[in-house]
Amino acid sequence: MLGSMMMRPLNVADILTFAADTHPTGEIVSVRTEGDLHRYTYADSARRVAQLAHGLKAQGANPGDRIATLAWNGYRHFELYYAIAGIGSVCHTINPRLSAEQMTYIVTHAEDTMLFVDLTFVPIVAALRDHWPKGLKVVVMTDRAHMPDGDYLCYEELLDGHPESYDWPELPEETAVGLCYTSGTTGNPKGTLYTHRSTVLHAMMVGLSLPSALQPGKKILPVVPLFHVNAWGLPYAAPLTGASLIFPGGALDGESIFRLMDNEEVFSAWGVPTVWLGLQGEIANQGRLPTGFGDMVVGGSAAPASMIRDFEERGVNVCHAWGMTEMSPVGTQGNLPAHLADVSMDKKIEIKSKQGRRIFGVDLKIVDEDGTRLPHDGEAAGELYVRGNAITSGYFKNDEANATAFDAEGWFGTGDVATIDGDGYLTITDRAKDLIKSGGEWISSLDLENTVMAHPRVANCAVIAVPHPKWDERPLLIVVPSPEGKPEVSELMALLEEHFAKWQLPDDVVFEDELPLTATGKVSKLTLRKKYMDHVLPASG
């Protein structure tokens, strides 16, 4: 028997309409590429989004068109998310840190019809445009006074003179709303095509799961980019809950982030660990936290225990989260449940170093090489599979990838290797392709890194597999020293010996001034593996 409730489709446009009605004074503050700070409210934003939607229609945008963005976190990028979605087109966010080849691949693969670009990235467009689909309209996200020379439309002129309201169409909730390609460390990037339904549900899931930051009056700094992984859902979850968004533009170094947080009294900051390493440095310089800072979400790659401890001991609640582009992206979050609220600091750090527990709408399973489910006992490690309400059911126009992305039960393979304990805590031990296989046994690079990061003279580190004639692969530790100077290798090994068996220890330690990063700000182990492919390890057993 079917129930008899209204079947109103979930629609992204409703989020901003709701915010404008219900949280009209919630703010969006943006560091602009023009060099100044811009601020307005959700109510102001909704009016400009309506104007932009009219402007897009006037340019001939049709439902289903892929309309690309190449932009920092700022209010105009936010407006594009909503205006493009609202008219039934698809907002295709492009990561400006991709290689020229990858960018050309995805613009062509997505068949973008328009591209909105921040001033900073105009040179990228100028260099690549000849290789992109003919007829692609390029709009520069600025006003007339700052327009570059060339065949470009002006963003502010697109809005000028249009009505400040729009009669949003009622779209089926399965309508595509956004497209985001993973950087694809091997092979071509793969696109996840979100729906209105998945996006609205994900916004509600994130709002429910991370309530400390997502509240009216709270200010959130998304360092996680709008150009990748939907800024972890914040452009939707923040207006839905009334939290304000403080967008940092392109100024992402520790000093700039500190200043912005301090001036705006940001409560909660969201981003990858590499960004927080920079902020940690500035906090140490100034000997204080930015005013009002009390909460952070860290994910995208593993947050070292030493970093979590540093922030927690300064009174900042750290939520270690895990997810991926294909999951909208949040899968788990690590705020302590009520029954663990009073644990000791050491225990807290131990728990928070794990990647947290699933949020509603995400199911997790770990399996062995035959696909057999493994127990959730915190010991058994296997490949992590997921299913849920905001998880991809297939990459955009990519039969080849889709042929192997799902198991027989329809679960999506994350490519991560993990354990899940009896309380539901997920621990990512590695990306499958980063695991080190030594003499038939697996060594977790993340575990080794986490331990080494605790040394005060280690600013950053990575453990990678180096080919070995006898053992297939052996671990090599690469260390970036802190400004105080290099740590002694013997000290690093002593630290590791406390936690690992002898055969798991790195065979060699090398020092680098910095580690190469991927387009999404993670340490690029692929680049490191290539660099050290022929590294000669000292003779070992």
Interaction between residue 457 and ligand ADP (CB under 6 A) = no
CA 192 – CA 504 distance, rounded (Å)? 37
Interaction between residue 320 and ligand ADP (CB under 6 A) = yes
Piece in contact with ligand ADP (CB under 6 A), picked from 153-161, 343-351, 409-417, 533-541: 409-417
Bond from prior residue into 329 cis (ω within 30 degrees of 0)? yes
497, 448 Cβ separation under 8 angstroms: no
Strand ranges across the sheet with 330-333: 322-323, 330-333, 357-358
Interaction between residue 324 and ligand ADP (CB under 6 A) = yes
Interaction between residue 450 and ligand ADP (CB under 6 A) = no
Active site residue 219: no
Active site residue 383: no
**Bridge-partner residues for 167, per DSSP?**
none
Beta pairing class for 176-181 and 191-195:
antiparallel
Least distance to ligand ADP from the beta carbon of 487, Å? 24
Task: Indicate the Cα dihedral angle 356, 357, 360, 362, nearest 10°.
Answer: 90
Map tokens 């570059």 to a residue.
148
Interaction between residue 390 and ligand ADP (CB under 6 A) = no
Piece in contact with ligand ADP (CB under 6 A), picked from 238-246, 296-304, 488-496, 530-538: 296-304
DSSP code string of 94-154: --TTS-HHHHHHHHHHHT-SEEEE-GGGHHHHHHHGGGSPTT-EEEESS-GGGPPSSS-EE
Interaction between residue 183 and ligand ADP (CB under 6 A) = yes
CA 515 – CA 511 distance, rounded (Å)? 10
Beta pairing class for 176-181 and 90-93:
parallel
29, 246 Cβ separation under 8 angstroms: yes
Least distance to ligand ADP from the beta carbon of 454, Å? 17
Closer CB to ligand ADP, 400 or 491, in the complex: 400
Least distance to ligand ADP from the beta carbon of 228, Å? 6
Active site residue 182: yes
Nearest by Cα to 331 from 413, 410, 386:
386
Active site residue 352: no
Contact residue for ligand ADP among 191, 248, 300, 382 (CB under 6 A)? 300
Contact residue for ligand ADP among 282, 295, 416, 473 (CB under 6 A)? 416
Interaction between residue 226 and ligand ADP (CB under 6 A) = no
Catalytic residue among 182, 427, 429, 520: 182
Site pattern 337..376 for ligand ADP (x: CB under 6 A): ------------------x---------------------
Task: Indicate the Cα dihedral angle 34, 36, 41, 42, nearest 10°.
Answer: 30
Closer CB to ligand ADP, 195 or 301, in the complex: 301
Give Cα 261 to chain centroid, integer Å.
20
Contact residue for ligand ADP among 102, 280, 328, 414 (CB under 6 A)? 414
Least distance to ligand ADP from the beta carbon of 518, Å? 6
Q: How many residues bind ligand ADP (CB under 6 A)?
A: 20
Which residues are marked as active site?
Answer: 182, 326, 437, 442
Interacting residues toward ligand ADP by CB under 6 A: 182-183, 229, 299-302, 320, 322, 324-325, 329, 355, 414-416, 428, 431, 520, 522
